[in-house]
Amino acid sequence: MDAAHMGSDLERVLITEEEIHAKLDELAGQIATEYDGKDLLLVGVLKGAVMVMADLMRALPVSVPVDWMAVSSYGSGTKSSGVVRILKDLDGDISGRHVLIVEDIVDSGLTLSWIRSNLESRSPASVEICTLLRKPEAAKVEVDVKWVGFDIPNEFVVGYGLDYAEAYRGLRVVGTLAPHVYS
């Protein structure tokens, strides 16, 4: 799929590339201050958080180690199943370390609350969450998210790491899909 075709499948751009980068720069500044002098580990949740991680880690003024986890919750559909399964666990031990989970989106919150308690059971010094997007109206469980880029309406979005059936992750913006894509 070429870039022009990907773009034409969008109904509406919700967040532009410039807005995303400005916001991640701002969050990176806050995160750098918060963890100054601490043993911070960024934990990205594959695959959606790849873009957020890439831009957030480059916006940080210091070099921070990164690890990845992959879980399944959605399959190729657009509704949360509530079932979380570890597809790829962290490479390393997190005991005694300050963990910052980096996510693309908090929708129902089911996945993140599961990941958070899973990581908390491994004796880290702390666990906090940074997400680019959050849908407040879709929350099914309360998740304490320390850093949120943008609160968005309760609509299915793609781009900047977020997929629909594994497509659109490479879009530089976040937007909603045109109805013809679903049918």
Report the alpha-carbon distance of residue 52 to residue 34 in Å, rounded: 19
Residue 157's closest CA among 178, 183, 142, 136?
Answer: 178
Positions 79 through 98 that interact with ligand 5GP (CB under 6 A): 80
Q: How far is the CB of 172 from ligand 5GP (least distance, A)?
A: 15
Given ligand 5GP, Mg ion, none, residue 80, with its beta carbon under 5 to 8 Å by kind, binds ligand 5GP
The interface region with Mg ion, picked from 12-20, 23-31, 102-110, 129-137 by CB under 5 A, is: 102-110
Quote the CA–CA distance of 31 and 120 in Å, as a whole number. 20
**Nearest-CA neighbor of 96 among 122, 117, 125, 121?**
125
Choice from 27, 51, 55, 73 touching ligand 5GP (CB under 6 A): 73
**Integer Cα distance of 15 and 41 in angstroms:** 27
Cα–Cα distance for residue pair 110/141, rounded to 1 Å? 6
Catalytic residue chosen out of the listed positions 107, 144, 151, 163: 107
Active site residue 67: no
Question: What residues numbered 134-173 form the site for ligand 5GP, per CB under 6 A?
Answer: 156-158, 162-164
Nearest CB to Mg ion, comparing residues 60 and 111 = 111
